[in-house]
Structure formats: C-alpha cells, structure tokens
Structure 1
Amino acid sequence: MEQPTPWLNRASFQGRVKLPHNFDLSVFEPFILDLEEIALPALLGDKLAALKAWLDTNQYGIVAPPDDPDEEVAVDPLETLYKKVVPYLVYAAYAEYAFGGDVQATNTGMVVKERESSSSLSDTQRTQLYRNYRDKANARAVLITKYLDEQRQSCVPSAYSGEARISSSGGKTRAKSDCW
C-alpha cells in the first residue's frame, strides 16, 4: 500500500525519516489512525473537519509539503495548515512505530518480530529513538498551535455587516469574510 491514509504519502517521509525505498508504508496506518482519532482533534479542534474536507477536495493533499515548514507559500490557510500537520504526523507516527512497531499480537501473547540478519534495539535505544521523534512531533505541534492562534486573531469577528471587506493581515490581502 503506497498511501496509508489521506494524510501522508511516501514523499511526506522524505527528508524527515530514513526509510528503505521498498518499505511498506501501511505499517504506519494504525499509528496514523490513532493520531487522527486522538491527537489531531485535540490539536486542530474545529479545523480538523475543514482540513479533512480540503484533503478530499484536493485529492488527498497532492500539494507537496515545503522543505521549510515555516515557509508559508500557500494562499489557502487550509493548505498552509496541511503543510504544517504533515511533519507532525510523520514524526509522531514514526516515534510510535519506533517504540512498538515490531511488537505483534499472537494467540499466545505479545511477541517481538526479529529477523536472522538483524538485531533488535535495546530498550534504551528504542526509548531514545522514540523521544527523539516525539520531541520533533511536539515541536511541530507547537508550530501548528501558533499558526492556528495567529489565524484566529486575524479573523476576529467585529461588527461584521455581512459585506465582504478587504483587509491586510501580515502583508497578505484577504477578505474579511475569509475567516475560517
């Protein structure tokens, strides 16, 4: 499976985590679904539904995320939000995978999957890897929260007459009715 969820594709991981070319991205699906059900509602609030609708409309975010997550090249605030959410999901899903991705449930209990030619990570190594990518995900969550706060402040409804008015916010021209 090339695209585990509408949120991420192989390009989303490039430059963020090192994966073999033939790595099956579907292993991330349970982690991404958990993040979508638990973390994203808390992080995005009422913007999650709008972002999901934007993903559906835009063929699951075919717009590639920028190399610099702070670079706001998007005119659409939902596209900008998507470009900030992708790194968060990559790092958070990878952290969860690193922590417990090789653990599998069997009829006799939980087991760790191992291969002959590789050695498994120690608990300390696994914890360090988890913390490293979790810290990156948390840093991205802070950027997302900051962006959403800026958007809310620039869209404060004030005696709105119902007529579209143009204003400038941070050097960008936008209609007053563009509050999302």
Structure 2
Amino acid sequence: MTQIYLIDKSTFQQYQDISVNIKLERLNAFIKKAQDLDLKPFLGRDLYNTLLKQFDETGAIKFDTPQRYKDLLTGTEYLDDKGNIVLYEGLIPALVYFTFARFIENDAVHYTPTGPVIKHQDMGQALATSEIMKLVQQQRSIANAYANDVERYLNDHQQDFPQWRLSNANRIARQPGPRIRAVDRNRYNYPLTASSTELSYPITEFLN
C-alpha cells in the first residue's frame, strides 16, 4: 500500500522555518508518526482511513473527492448553528505542529553504536533536555489548539461526517510523549464531564 502523506516539506514551511538541509525522507518519517499516532487516534480509524482514500497513489487529492473532505483538510469559512461566521483553517496546521513537536524531540538525539547521545552543534550550544521538552510542549499546545477547531468543525458538520465520534478510547489512545496540561482546556476528542475542571498530564513520558 502506498504511503500517503497529508503534508510535505513545502506545506510545513508555511508554518515553521525549518532548514532546507533537512532530508525529505527524515521529515516524512515524523509526518508518518504524527499521522499514525496523533491524527488517526484523534479522528478515529474509520474517518482517518476514509480521508486517506481521497488521495491517489501519487499523493494528490483525487479530482472527484467530495468538497467536504477537501474542506476538512484545508479549511473553509462557514456559518455555525447560531449564524456566526467561523474561519476554519483545516487539519493541516494541527498535523504540522504535531509533526514539529516530534521532530524537535527526536532530532535532539543521535543514535550511535554505543547508544543514544545528545547532538552538539559546531556553531552553537545544544539545548538542555528541559528546554527541549518545553519547546515540545509548546508545539503540542499549538497543535491541540488547532485540533479544537477541527473538533468544532466536525461537530458542526456531523451530518457530513457520520464516522466522527467523540470517544474516550480515542482520547486515551493519544500519542505518547509530553502531555499538555490544562493550559489548553480542550476536549481533543474527549468529552469532559460536568465535574471536570481541567485536564492535567505530567510531562514525564518520552516518544518511542
């Protein structure tokens, strides 16, 4: 089966300034992880797989893809049930920042025959692990904020996306790594109860 990448290096550079020297294959590895471990649990397997089916073997979106899937991916402007104008930016920004978080954390480590080491730069000083983790948390927080908008769009268009469900299982299945504390106060595909005041997760886990 052909691997479909929902974003590429040129898309990525619209949101983050990354080095032109980064190999496409290396960036694609993080995009794939973000799609498999962040986006798929969020959307749910059925909706995620249906979205991928809208792309051909070259990775281009099919000509006859329904507009609702194009809008889900790239964004649109619509009226909500209260008549308010909503500017929805699509799935792409959330996926970009999930990818960037994974890139930051993994790119700080170099695997050698004797084990993993922190990379050092000739023209600068490598960041401390604590500073790297702060950057990762910041990027995940941005990704979650965009994910909130995706969730709102899907809820507002439930009739167009019957496969979309808010699910405890999907929320629990969220990617490993630093967890975002209640600064986001988002549901992120997880229905809060009336007694829930915040979501708080310790920043103690690392990516596989």
What is the TM-score normalised by the length of structure 2? 0.59
1:1-180 matched pairs, under 5 angstroms: 6-45=5-44, 46-56=46-56, 59-61=59-61, 76-83=67-74, 84-153=90-159
Partners of 1:12 and 1:87 within 8 A in 2: no
Q: Distance in 2 between matches of 1:61 and 1:125?
A: 38
User: Which secondary structure does the structure 2 equivalent of 1:7 belong to?
Assistant: coil
Q: Distance in 2 between matches of 1:20 and 1:148?
A: 34
Q: Which amino acid aligns with 2:115?
A: G
Q: Segments of 4+ in structure 1 off by > 4 A?
A: 153-156
Q: Which amino acid aligns with 2:147?
A: A
Give, in angstroms, the shift of residue 92 of structure 1.
0.7
Partners of 2:4 and 2:59 within 8 A in 1: no
Q: Distance in 2 between matches of 1:99 and 1:38?
A: 15
Bigger mean CA deviation after superposition, 147-156 or 109-118: 147-156
Count of residues in Structure 1 that have an aligned counterpart in Structure 2: 143
Bigger mean CA deviation after superposition, 46-55 or 113-122: 113-122
Name the Cα RMSD after superposition.
2.8
Q: Distance in 1 between matches of 2:160 and 2:42?
A: 19
Partner of 2:187: none
Segments of 5+ residues of structure 1 without an aligned counterpart are 64-74, 157-180
Partners of 2:105 and 2:133 within 8 A in 1: yes
Partners of 1:7 and 1:61 within 8 A in 2: no
Q: Distance in 1 between matches of 2:58 and 2:150?
A: 20
User: Which secondary structure does the structure 1 equivalent of 2:20 belong to?
Assistant: coil
User: Which secondary structure does the structure 1 equivalent of 2:116 belong to?
Assistant: strand
Larger Rg computed on CA atoms? 1
Give, in angstroms, the shift of residue 61 of structure 1.
4.3
Partners of 1:5 and 1:29 within 8 A in 2: no
Give, in angstroms, the shift of residue 22 of structure 1.
3.6
Give, in angstroms, the shift of residue 57 of structure 1.
7.2
Q: Distance in 1 between matches of 2:59 and 2:142?
A: 27
User: Which secondary structure does the structure 1 equivalent of 2:55 belong to?
Assistant: helix
Q: Which amino acid aligns with 2:11?
A: S
Identity, % of aligned pairs? 24
